[in-house]
Amino acid sequence: MKKSVLAFLFVVFCMQSFANLRLPSVLSDHMVLQQQSKAKLWGWADPAAMVYVTTSWNNRTDSVKATRDANWEINIQTPAAGGPYSIVLRSGNIIELKDVLIGEVWICSGQSNMEMNSQWGLPDAKAELPTCYNNKIRFFFVPKTTAKYPQDDCKAQWAICDSNSMKTFSAAGYFFGKKLNKELNVPIGLVSANWGGTAAEVWAPAAVVNDDAVLKASAAEIKPTDWWPYQPGYAYNAMISPLTNFAIAGTIWYQGESNVGRASSYSKLFTGMIGAWRKAWDKDFPFYYVQIAPFKYGDSAQGALLQEAQTKSMSYPNVGMVVVNDLVDDTSDIHPKNKHEVGYRLANWALAETYHHQVASYKSPLYKNMVVQKGKAIIEFDNAPMGLYAKDKKIKQLYIAGEDKIFYPAEGKIERGNLVVWSKKVKDPVAVRYAFGNTAIGNLFGMEGLPVTPFRTDSW
């Protein structure tokens, strides 16, 4: 009899333990919720148990019944930016989320140039450490993890921006968030999910790659290593999928170096990934990314072709690209150290396009059209309302070719806001290239101060 009672009590204890309300790690103290949105809260509880949610910004209690699969989710309306607030959840046990801010939430993702932090020897990031404390900037750092199938949680926690949390957080992401916080005067939540060396295929849901013959064939060319995953979807499943219930404002992205050599499929892959992420979040959020920097990839123009694929991706809706070839001082280093300016340029895209602030300049001049007159090629540009200028007397990295497809170094000058290009060796120009090469660093800028996007007028 005594054993039966003990067994019964043990069963009750187990049932109560299972019944305890649980939350994913992204719903925790110090988090930032997206302002003025239907923010989703979710987790696990006893099947058919009621879950009650009380938010301190309006002292309202909402409720939802857990499913037979022990899952629950509820949408709560968030107010305009502010806080700190608390959220109390009850279902047998009680969970109180403290120090919750309402503001703007951004995903910061990609490979090593997004991953880089002060511990990588970045002077601008190190200089921030003594004064970086900001209670209105919060970090959520997703650890490197993989999974064969999409996951619903990840092991991480929110942290207030200070010298301890910032030193291991994405420097580009930090500077992006710092500028947004200053200009918008609202709390900023930054979610860092990145992994040095990874190809874009691992960040896209597997179906994006495996259901497309071209992308699947391209992915098959990835060489496995001991340092990062190579299977399509593996980083997405473990590092992005657990976040897709969490309301965000948008994404910033710095990746592409590991797709050099497979540039012909990159634009299709990249835009497919963006579309899949937006579908998972059920939101057409903005996606701002960094064009890869010049680097010694080899004898061919593999890096330039990947840059070109990124430029072509600009035609996809609600995206923006930051050009950084002027921030490179060593083309033998694939990791340019100036992440301060990278973050600020990304922030300017967001301030202008997402938040509709007046920003002096955020789009790099972009090749528009070429016409030939009297043996000279005249190049027109978008995003150059005040024209162009060269930082040196001679315009660098200009090449011109005729029908024979042989490129010669070219002369150039700026006339009426256009670029005029010619060479004595090419009487009838057919094509022009500017800064189109693995290590090519141009010196043409819009009058507003941003570098001209590398381009070629041919498709040879």
pLDDT digits (tens, 9 = 90+) for 312-356: 999 999 999 999 999 999 999 999 999 999 999 999 999 999 999
Residue with tokens 């899949």: 276
303 has pLDDT over 50: yes
Q: Note whether 157 and 140 are within 8 A (CB).
A: yes
The CATH architecture that domain 103-354 belongs to is: 3-Layer(aba) Sandwich (3.40)
For position 12, what pLDDT does the model report?
A: 40
| Percent of the chain clearing pLDDT 70 (strictly above) | 96
Q: Note whether 73 and 40 are within 8 A (CB).
A: yes
129 has pLDDT over 70: yes
The mean pLDDT of 423-431, rounded to a whole number, is 97
pLDDT digits (tens, 9 = 90+) for 201-255: 999 999 999 999 999 999 999 999 999 999 999 999 999 999 999 999 999 999 9
Which residue blocks in 167-265 are alpha helix, DSSP H?
171-184, 206-210, 213-219, 234-235
What are the structural domain ranges in the chain?
2-101, 103-354, 366-456
Q: pLDDT grade, residue 150 (50/70/90)? A: very high
pLDDT digits (tens, 9 = 90+) for 241-294: 999 999 999 999 999 999 999 999 999 999 999 999 999 999 999 999 999 999
CATH number of the 2-101 domain: 2.60.40.10
DSSP-assigned letter for residue 246:
S
Strand partners, 411: 422
Q: Which long-range contacts does 283-286 make (Cβ < 8 Å, 24+ apart)?
A: 283/247, 283/248, 284/317, 284/318, 285/248, 285/249, 285/250, 285/251, 285/318, 286/249, 286/250, 286/251, 286/318, 286/319, 286/320, 286/349, 286/350, 286/353, 286/354
Q: Which two tokens stand for residue 87?
A: 């959220």
* CA-wise closest residue to 366 among 400, 431, 316, 315: 315
pLDDT digits (tens, 9 = 90+) for 430-460: 999 999 999 999 999 999 999 999 999 999 9
Angle value at C-alpha 274, between 174 and 385, nearest 5 degrees: 70
Q: Note whether 111 and 258 are within 8 A (CB).
A: yes
7 has pLDDT over 70: no
Q: Which two tokens stand for residue 228?
A: 């990062």
